């Protein structure tokens, strides 16, 4: 039995994925790079932070708000060089985040520092009402 994997086998592609990121075929489909985000509320301001090292925010990043959805889009461009190893992800990316209700899009600000994009959305109502909904048991065969 041949224990050496063919470079065209699905198993070899999966191993390549784990060792070097997504296979090149997926990179060309725009499925990578993936932007990791975190969000939290700080003093009535909703904050979204996105890791985007190696990006020129003036040239490569676009922020947009449509309804109550914030979208971060951009592209990490690959430099043309002879490489021995390639673990960095290049290509277009897009992440969308649901904004809290009642925010004013014209009040949103963004900064980029040390590879992290920080988007601040002021005016978030920290008070939320929690309602407990009782669950009633219906006799079998009946629906309400």
Domains, the chain, ordered by start: 35-122 (2.60.40.790)
Residue 62: half-sphere exposure toward Cβ, Cα within 13 Å: 9
As a whole number of angstroms, the distance between CA 15 and CA 21 comes to 9
**pLDDT above 90 as % of the chain:** 20
Q: pLDDT confidence of 5, banded at 50, 70, 90?
A: very low
Q: What is the mean pLDDT of residues 122-127?
A: 70
As a whole number of angstroms, the distance between CA 89 and CA 71 comes to 20
Q: Answer whether 0.85 is exceeded by the pTM.
A: no
């Amino acid at each position: 039995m041949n224990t050496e994997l063919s470079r065209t086998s699905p198993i070899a592609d999966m191993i390549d994925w784990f060792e070097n990121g997504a296979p090149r075929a997926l990179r060309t489909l725009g499925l990578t790079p993936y932007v990791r985000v975190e969000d939290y509320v700080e003093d009535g301001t909703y904050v979204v932070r996105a890791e985007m090292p190696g990006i020129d925010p003036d040239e490569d990043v676009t922020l947009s708000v449509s309804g109550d959805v914030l979208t971060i889009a951009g592209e990490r461009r690959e430099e043309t060089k002879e490489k021995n190893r390639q673990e960095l992800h290049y290509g277009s990316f897009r992440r969308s985040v649901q904004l809290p209700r009642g925010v004013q899009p014209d009040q949103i600000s963004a900064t980029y520092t040390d590879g992290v994009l920080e988007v601040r959305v002021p005016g978030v109502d920290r008070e939320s009402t929690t309602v407990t909904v009782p669950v009633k048991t219906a006799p079998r065969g009946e629906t309400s």
